Amino acid sequence: VTVSKMAAPGTAGVTAAPGGQDEFSRYRSPLVFRYAGADMAFNFSDRKKFGSWRRLWLWLARGQQKLGLPITDEQIQEMESNLDNIDFKMAAEEEKRLRHDVMAHVHTFAHCCPKAAGIIHLGATSCYVGDNTDLIVLRDGFDILLVKLARVISRLSDFAEKHADLPTLGFTHYQPAQLTTVGKRCCLWIQDLCMDLRNLERARNDLRFRGVKGTTGTQASFLQLFEGDHDKVEQLDELVTEMAGFKCAYLVTGQTYSRKVDIDCLSVLSSLGASDFQICTDIRLLANLKEIEEPFEKDQIGSSAMPYKRNPMRSERCCSLARHLMALIMDPLQTAAVQWFERTLDDSANSRVIQFIVKCFLHLGLIESLPPWIPPAPSLHGEVIERHICHELPFMATENVIMAMVKAGGNRQDCHEKIRVLSQQAAAVVKQEGGDNDLIDRVRADPYFGPVHSQLDILLDPKSFIGRAPQQVARFLKEEVRPLLTPFQSKMDVKVELEL
């Protein structure tokens, strides 16, 4: 198709062959080719989807055979041998002809399984393969994501432990407050992520299989196949559920599993997105303060116009993806709200109900691989941190100076007034002249404070202002974090590639 004369500036003369010549001639989602990890991208791929459909048909046939339907071992073997022998071109042609995706794949599977053709999809409805596959993919997506999140928490825990007693300026309202430590602040991030890990595990373990339920969930077609034998219908449901790797199935469904399931899944995914957003925002703010920097490759370019720049691009990317992820929660809410009676097609027309969940998993699969503290380690600039402390610590130390003066025999009110005046003078130097905080120099120069001059270095030791932060870090990591990570220990030592 040749671009018309009304084409946007710079596009005149651009042509494209119908259907595209190669992968660069068709739209590709950046979410997949640029951001998603190979494991998560495959989990939501067509090959995984349609391969799962064929496995569901195989499991159904096995269960029906076991319960007495006339299905031969030869038919089962034929299906099993062609699970991944998917002719996608034929399936697309069949769907164009039949206008039905499931039946298109039934025909395509039957083409390579002629002996089993008559028993494929026997008694089932489209949602048998569609919804059950969605639940399989959701479960497997959670399994992938849980490991990624556990790795992030583990690496953050190592970072927190290493810097448990390193004082740093704390902020409330993004204004200098009391001191904390780098490790203690990191534990605030870890605590949120541990909540997310528990929520993800709960949502994953709450998932059930839709199972073998029929068109409106009544199992009427299967009851007919088994000539009114209710026990065999229930056994078939249990057999297929077990073969799919689920402990149990939903006891009641309409044509679909309840769309409340999608709300539950996406809620915990969005919540993790919010945690990632907040943590990476902190990293971006600390980068601006030059206290911490993301890894920077040898030939990496921060700006095409400003060669000196080192932008926190990984944290920015995490925030960007997380923001989009958090907005997706409205989609399943509205879908669930319009599921009339046994089912409407609002979910199907809405790019399939699974698609907004796909986006969440792909977002988080990338986000949990990107945080700037996993290899290589971030650059932590202790000298800058110390300089920021020195800039604010004199003001924070005034109460300590007052107490020391009182112990030395001074009057609390007189001392308070003296140091108030000196503090205002020092603040004027900082705010009006752009100078350094010279409060302590003023205290040293004032004879009134002579009784405590020899104590000032001790009174100004940053570690005397961090309270129990190091002890809190040690206890938190020991009692809450490390036990939570125990089930994932065998999967921790995996190299994380940060290509983009």
Rounded Cα distance, 50 and 442, in Å: 76
CATH of the domain at 370: 1.20.200.10
Instruction: Tell me: do 374 and 226 sit in the same domain.
Output: yes
Q: What is the pLDDT of residue 28?
A: 67
Q: Does residue 439 sit within a domain?
A: yes
User: Is residue 411 predicted with pLDDT exceeding 80?
Assistant: yes
Place 51 in a pLDDT band, splitting at 50, 70 and 90: very high
CB < 8 Å & 24+ apart, contacts of 327-332: 328/266, 328/270, 328/356, 328/359, 328/360, 329/263, 329/266, 329/267, 329/270, 331/266, 331/356, 332/259, 332/262, 332/263, 332/266, 332/356, 332/357
Instruction: Tell me: do 62 and 112 sit in the same domain.
Output: yes
For the chain, what is the largest distance between any 2 Cα atoms, rounded to a whole number of angstroms?
A: 104
Q: Does residue 489 sit within a domain?
A: no
Region 204-217: mean pLDDT is: 96
Q: Does residue 38 sit within a domain?
A: no
What single-letter DSSP state applies at residue 378?
Answer: P
Which residue carries 């040749």 as its tokens? 2
Tell me the average pLDDT of the chain: 86
User: Is residue 493 predicted with pLDDT exceeding 90?
Assistant: no
Q: Does residue 240 sit within a domain?
A: yes
Which residues form the domain of 403?
398-459
What b/e string do you get for 145-174 counting C-beta neighbours within 10 Å, with b at 16 or more? bbbbbbbbbbbbbebbbebbbbbbbbeeee
Instruction: Tell me: do 336 and 247 sit in the same domain.
Output: yes
Rounded Cα distance, 293 and 284, in Å: 9
Q: Does residue 486 sit within a domain?
A: no
Mapped onto helix, strand or coil, the DSSP state of residue 380 is: strand
Which residues carry out catalysis? Answer: 173, 303
Place 3 in a pLDDT band, splitting at 50, 70 and 90: very low
Distances (CA, A) of 157 to 184, 190, 294, 335, 405: 10, 7, 18, 39, 41
Number of domains in the chain: 3
CATH of the domain at 89: 1.10.275.10
pLDDT tens for residues 109-129?
999 999 999 999 999 999 999
Tokens of 141: 């997506």
Q: What is the pLDDT of residue 492?
A: 79
Cα 385–387–392 angle (5° rounding)? 100
Instruction: Tell me: do 205 and 291 sit in the same domain.
Output: yes
Q: What is the pLDDT of residue 364?
A: 67
Instruction: Tell me: do 174 and 222 sit in the same domain.
Output: yes
Rounded Cα distance, 105 and 185, in Å: 53
Q: Does residue 498 sit within a domain?
A: no
Phi, psi for residue 175 in degrees, rounded to 5: -115, 145
Place 6 in a pLDDT band, splitting at 50, 70 and 90: very low
Instruction: Tell me: do 76 and 176 sit in the same domain.
Output: no
CATH of the domain at 430: 1.10.40.30
Place 32 in a pLDDT band, splitting at 50, 70 and 90: low
Instruction: Tell me: do 108 and 131 sit in the same domain.
Output: no
Region 132-137: mean pLDDT is: 94
Rounded Cα distance, 449 and 415, in Å: 8
Instruction: Tell me: do 356 and 242 sit in the same domain.
Output: yes
pLDDT tens for residues 420-431?
999 999 999 988
Q: What is the pLDDT of residue 498?
A: 46
pLDDT tens for residues 308-357?
677 888 888 888 888 888 888 888 888 888 889 988 877 766 545 455 56
Instruction: Tell me: do 59 and 191 sit in the same domain.
Output: no
Instruction: Tell me: do 101 and 160 sit in the same domain.
Output: no
Q: What is the pLDDT of residue 455?
A: 93
Instruction: Tell me: do 211 and 117 sit in the same domain.
Output: no
Q: What is the pLDDT of residue 232?
A: 98
